[in-house]
Amino acid sequence: MKDLTINEFVEGFKNDENAVIIDVRTPEEEAEGLIPNSTNMNIMEQSFPAKVMDLDKTKSYYVYCRSGGRSASACQFMDKQGLTVYNLLGGIQAWNSFNS
């Protein structure tokens, strides 16, 4: 697991042919905006661990939430499952600032 700044995160997923962007926020929080082409996997749902177990271990996962806390927790869990994961420091708030 590695924490990335917004610039590192964007550079990473743009240059990684195996990149998958994961949004771990609740569906209600998605109203604050999304990173294009991201997949929602709500960390608050009971099914989250099972969904993680089904992920392709050949991919790289770029994970974000609102501000970086829940995505850090998600990344720790995903890392323990043998996945390559990157946490966006500052979450969607950093993304929105970067794109404004």
Q: Compute the distance between CA of residue 35 and CA of residue 37 in angstroms, rounded to an integer.
A: 6
Report the DSSP pairing between strands 84-88 and 39-40.
unpaired
Written as six digits, the tokens of 21 are 């962007």
Q: Is 65 marked active-site?
A: yes
24 and 42 in contact (C-beta within 8 Å)? Answer: yes
Choosing from 65, 74, 75, 85, the catalytic residue is: 65
Written as six digits, the tokens of 81 are 């499952």
Q: Compute the distance between CA of residue 76 and CA of residue 79 in angstroms, rounded to an integer.
A: 5
Active site residues: 65
